[in-house]
């Protein structure tokens, strides 16, 4: 019998040489006349171990990582195919504390399966939720999503069930389900991992959404910076259509849902839902004024569900195991689990799916293991480029939408980026404004003009020109952007800027000659 071996094809593993590793392993096996079955799984989300090679043993899957092609001969010599000892051996992967302490619902299959194997998906509870949904009325499906407490995971945290209900009850000949996969926030990669690692879960979630509102067509809008996710989704949609999970007649139930995968073109603001709709319609990604809400007047003017990848991919487990099961995780108004993404200067970065309520400190210390550089942690940016910078003293806040809002932060899409004490927070504030100037769609003045003026103000503060006066002006400008912008691009760029000013004023007050760079 051939030996089963796993090497991931997630982008992180690929960027660290997983394809070369797979070639080296196959070549070495041929040389030793060993019959191998090499499965290209997705990542478990333990990125410091990538490429993580796993072998199937009677005790469970044993992991070795990070493995370079040069290690391969040594691994064979050590008998790794039977889980043999080797300096790179991590033991049974499922028993690693990093995984054991997580509550993986949305990412239950991550790294376990071949992402494009329908039989793997079915063997791991795939399409259980869809089958249940097919036996329910539209109103019952919406009620289950509402009762689960699921809120939009893209950043805005709007209750998914309420949005679905609006689309369901709006009369129209055509309706759409649109998946926002324009995951542009730095420090976030949960959407990418899900699309590359478990694309059928997203397809299943979107199909359930279509049944719930009576939509016949759907679009996934994927960023062009994610070529591996785009390729994987296109293949997965073809496979699911051929097997009858998508198409004119889903599983013989008489209802149809056609799904299209669309590639974005490198505009951050197209992650804003109305700019994304414009882009899907073939236009510049300019933000629309709301109302009308997209739930009433969305894609091509039709009622549309727009949800993030993680929101939609969390729907199958809610249908399969019930609203109460999902609701049982979390606290307050933040129910269920959140796939957190730990990155930046941290030793053990990766995907950590937990019920709401863990503190940032627990996440960074206990999962992350501190900074990778070994220097003291100075700042943490939570929620992407529009999220606040928090100092070490504020990290005991529980990870929950409302708790973070109380300390002036945002949870956003769940990205947590760690900086050590070499960071210059005035430069980070400058970057926030620079990024806004670069990515602003230009529709509203506070964002279009404010961001450019913001860069100039931070520059003059750094240069020590009329510091007090310019700082006052910068705060005034931030207030205008906060209150006067059309969307979160201009409206939230002040978060990183003001939090840097508030928590790290010393970085804006250094003698300008001593500043490096």
Partner 1 sequence: MTDTLPEADAQSVEAAILAHGTQPGALLPLLHAVQDRLGHIPPPAVTRIAAALNLSRAEVHGVVSYYHHFRERPCGRHLLEICRAEACQARGARELEAHVRRRLGCDFHQTSGEGVSLEPVYCLGLCATGPAIAIDGQAFSRVSAAVFDALRARHL
Which residues sit at the interface with partner 1, rule CB under 8 A?
11-12, 14-16, 47-48, 50, 183-189, 192, 224-227, 262-268, 279-285, 300, 341-346, 349-350, 372, 381, 385, 415, 417-420, 423, 428, 431, 435, 439, 517
Q: Smaller CB distance to partner 1: residue 109 or 348?
A: 348
Shortest reach from residue 122's CB to partner 1, in Å: 28
Residues with Cβ within 8 Å of residue 123, at least 6 apart in sequence: 113
Minimum distance of partner 1 from residue 281's CB (angstroms): 4
For the bound state, the minimum distance from the C-beta of residue 202 to partner 1, rounded and expressed in Å, comes to 16
419 or 508: CB nearest partner 1: 419
Q: Which residues share a beta bridge with 379?
A: 391, 419
User: Strand pairing partners for 30?
Assistant: none
The distance of closest approach from Cβ of residue 105 to partner 1 in the complex, given in angstroms and rounded to an integer, is: 21
Minimum CB separation of residue 425 from partner 1 in Å reads: 12
Closer to partner 1 at the Cβ: 48 or 158?
48
Cβ proximity to partner 1, 120 vs 196, nearer residue? 196
Q: Cβ distance 164 to 175 under 8 Å?
A: no
Least Å distance, CB 377 to partner 1, is: 10
Q: Which pair of tokens denotes residue 383?
A: 């929620």
- The C-alpha atoms of residue 265 and residue 274 are separated, in whole angstroms, by 16
The alpha carbons of the chain give a radius of gyration, in whole angstroms, of 24
Residue count of the chain, please give it. 517
Return all residues near 482 (Cβ < 8 A) that are at least 6 apart. 491, 492, 494
Q: In angstroms, give the least distance from the CB of 364 to partner 1.
A: 12
Choice between 61 and 348, CB closer to partner 1: 348
The minimum distance between CB 127 and partner 1, in angstroms, equals 27
439 HSE (CA, 13 A, CB side): 24
Cα(512)–Cα(517) distance, rounded to whole angstroms?
Answer: 10
Q: Is the peptide bond between 66 and the residue preceding it cis, with omega within 30 degrees of 0? A: yes
| Alpha-helical runs (H) found in 440-493 | 445-462, 467-484, 488-492
Q: Give the ranges where 299-423 is alpha helix by DSSP (H).
A: 309-313, 315-321, 323-327, 360-362, 401-406
Peptide bond into 486 cis (omega under 30): no
Q: Give buried/exposed letters for 356-383 (b at 16+ CB in 10 A, else e).
A: bbbbbbbbbebbbebbbeeeebbbbbbb
Shortest spacing between CB 186 and partner 1, in angstroms: 3
Q: Which is nearer to partner 1, 101 or 283 (CB)?
A: 283
> Considering beta carbons, is residue 148 or 341 the nearer one to partner 1?
341
* Beta sheet of 377-382, edge-to-edge order: 350-355, 337-344, 415-420, 377-382, 389-391
Nearer to partner 1, 42 or 341 (CB): 341
The residue among 11 and 460 lying less far from partner 1, judged by its C-beta, is: 11
């Amino acid at each position: 019998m051939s030996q089963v071996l796993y090497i991931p094809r997630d982008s992180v593993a690929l960027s660290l040489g997983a394809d070369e590793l797979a070639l080296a392993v196959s070549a070495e096996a041929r040389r030793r006349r060993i019959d191998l079955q090499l499965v290209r799984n997705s990542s478990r989300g333990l990125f410091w171990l990538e490429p993580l090679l796993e072998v199937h043993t009677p005790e469970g899957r044993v992991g070795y990582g990070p493995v370079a092609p040069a290690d391969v001969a040594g691994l064979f010599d050590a008998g790794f195919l039977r889980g043999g000892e080797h300096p790179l051996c991590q033991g049974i992967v499922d028993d690693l504390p990093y995984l054991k302490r997580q509550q993986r619902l949305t990412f239950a299959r991550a790294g376990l399966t071949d992402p494009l194997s329908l039989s793997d998906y079915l063997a791991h509870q795939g399409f259980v939720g869809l089958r249940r949904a097919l036996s329910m009325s539209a109103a019952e499906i919406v009620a289950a999503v509402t009762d689960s407490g699921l809120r939009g995971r893209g950043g805005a945290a709007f209750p998914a069930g309420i949005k679905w209900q609006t689309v369901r009850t709006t009369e129209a000949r055509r309706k759409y389900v649109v998946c926002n996969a324009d995951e542009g926030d730095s420090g976030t990669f949960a959407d990418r991992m899900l699309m590359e690692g478990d694309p059928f879960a997203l397809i299943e979630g979107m199909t359930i959404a279509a049944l719930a509102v009576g939509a016949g067509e759907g679009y996934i809008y994927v960023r062009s910076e994610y070529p591996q996710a785009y390729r994987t989704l296109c293949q997965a949609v073809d496979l699911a259509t051929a097997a009858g999970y998508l198409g004119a007649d889903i599983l013989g139930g008489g209802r149809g849902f056609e799904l299209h995968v669309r590639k974005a073109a490198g505009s951050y603001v197209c992650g804003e839902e109305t700019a994304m709709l414009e882009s899907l319609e073939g236009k510049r990604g300019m933000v629309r004024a709301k109302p009308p809400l997209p739930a009433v007047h969305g894609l091509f003017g039709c009622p549309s569900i727009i949800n993030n990848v993680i929101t939609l991919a969390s729907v199958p487990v809610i249908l399969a195991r019930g609203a109460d099961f999902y609701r049982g995780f979390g606290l307050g108004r933040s129910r269920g689990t959140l796939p957190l993404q730990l990155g930046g200067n941290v030793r053990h970065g990766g995907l950590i799916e937990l019920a709401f309520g863990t503190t940032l400190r627990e996440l960074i210390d206990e999962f992350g293991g501190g900074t990778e550089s070994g220097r003291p942690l100075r700042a943490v940016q939570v929620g992407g480029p529009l999220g606040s910078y928090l100092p070490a003293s504020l990290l005991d806040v529980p990870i929950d939408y409302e708790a973070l809002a109380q300390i002036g932060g945002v949870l956003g899409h769940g990205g947590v980026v760690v900086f050590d004490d070499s960071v210059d927070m005035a430069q980070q504030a400058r970057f926030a404004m620079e990024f806004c100037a670069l990515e602003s769609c230009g529709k509203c003045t506070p964002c279009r003009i404010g961001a450019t003026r913001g860069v100039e103000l931070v520059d003059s503060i750094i240069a020590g020109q009329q510091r007090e006066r310019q700082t006052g002006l910068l705060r005034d400008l931030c207030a205008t952007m906060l209150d006067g912008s059309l969307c979160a691009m201009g409206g939230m760029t002040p978060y990183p800027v003001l939090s840097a000013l508030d928590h790290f004023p010393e970085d804006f007050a250094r003698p300008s000659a001593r500043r490096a760079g």
